[in-house]
Amino acid sequence: MRIAFAGTPPFAAAALQALLEAGHEIVLVLTQPDRPSGRGMKLKASAVKELALAHGLRVITPETLSVKRNPETAEAALSELQACGAELLVVAAYGLILPQRALDAAAGIGADGSIKSLNIHASLLPRWRGAAPIQRAIMAGDASTGVTLMKMEAGLDTGPMICRASTPISDTDTAQSLTERLAKIGADLVVDALEHASELTCTAQPEDGVTYAEKILKSESPVDWTMSAEEIDRRLRAFTPFPYMTACFGEEVFKLRAARPVAGHGTPGEVLSTNKTLVVACGSGALECTKLQKAGKPEMPAASFLQCFPLKPGDVLA
């Protein structure tokens, strides 16, 4: 099948790799422009761009597809998408809003030929529409999540569903581990679906159970010690590897890189123990921090962290 592909992070690259391995012809790849990355803030290509170039694919990186915002850039990208001869546009975590013109650019597949653009969305729709479905599912304490293949339409993840696959969320899953698992599920799901491209149909999403996954912001990273230990643990796992959770003592700010809920009682934020690990009281229960990171330093075990960051029982963290 002739496919145009739009995606940016490793989650999307997994789907692109699977489509290539399945023998599909990728006629065009859209991905976000190179962004500054690392301590040197050097420009770095997206995971999708790196993979596409390694396979000699045609790649375009428009800053926007909005003709109102940037007519010249958007018009060039949309014209190329319309002219590439794709039967289907596959989208996975692209990160730019796709106008109707882009959604209608491909010829179309499915039982009635109406599926022109297909989205690989990392949740069991209609739960967790939006930008950060994996992180919000962990934060909410959901028992399971999954991937939905959806026919795209103008609304925010409102399109009818083609198929879904689920996976449990364990009490040790982080956003990173769950993203990696869902990337594999999504890649397998889209390849399997396209084996029966001419038979695919869609089902409208239920009206009940709609939730929205707002984008994760750095401003959410400070720990609120008045929360329960279980809530803080879920947030910490949801914020790994970005933006991580932070705590401070005096003017010193540090990251919590790994922790687990334990029994304990005290004033929220109070240090209960510094014996090999850092145990801090929460609104209910306590959090045992096993890996931490000082600003400008690598992650380290709690015992090493405490040697260079002298905390003692009774201190109160903010």
CATH number of domain containing 285? 3.10.25.10
pLDDT bucket at 295, cuts 50 / 70 / 90: confident
Q: Is the pLDDT of residue 296 over 80?
A: yes
In-domain check, residue 315: no
- Residues 128 and 55 grouped into a single domain: yes
- The secondary structure element, H or E, covering residue 3 is strand 2-7
Give per-residue pLDDT as tens, 159-175. Answer: 999 999 999 999 999 99
- CA–CA dist 149, 124 (Å, integer): 9
Q: What total number of domains does the chain contain?
A: 2
- Residues 174 and 68 grouped into a single domain: yes
Give per-residue pLDDT as tens, 232-260. Answer: 999 999 999 999 999 999 999 999 999 99
Q: Judge contact between 164 and 188, C-beta under 8 A.
A: no
- Residues 77 and 209 grouped into a single domain: yes
- Residues 171 and 34 grouped into a single domain: yes
- Residues 49 and 180 grouped into a single domain: yes
In-domain check, residue 34: yes
pLDDT at 39: 73
Give per-residue pLDDT as tens, 25-64. Answer: 999 999 999 999 877 788 999 999 999 999 999 999 999 9
Among 213, 244, 278, identify where a domain stops: 213
pLDDT at 283: 98
- Residues 33 and 76 grouped into a single domain: yes
E strands, 10-169, are 25-30, 35-37, 42-44, 59-60, 88-92, 117-121, 129-130, 144-151, 161-168
- Residues 268 and 222 grouped into a single domain: yes
Among 213, 233, 249, identify where a domain stops: 213
* 3-class DSSP assignment, residue 28: strand
Global pTM reads 0.95
Give the domain extent around 242: 218-308
- CA–CA dist 160, 101 (Å, integer): 18
- Residues 181 and 298 grouped into a single domain: no
- Residues 151 and 178 grouped into a single domain: yes
In-domain check, residue 95: yes
* 3-class DSSP assignment, residue 162: strand
pLDDT at 222: 98
Among 213, 240, 272, identify where a domain stops: 213
- CA–CA dist 136, 260 (Å, integer): 19
- Residues 206 and 228 grouped into a single domain: no
- Residues 234 and 207 grouped into a single domain: no
Q: Judge contact between 118 and 90, C-beta under 8 A.
A: yes
- Residues 71 and 198 grouped into a single domain: yes
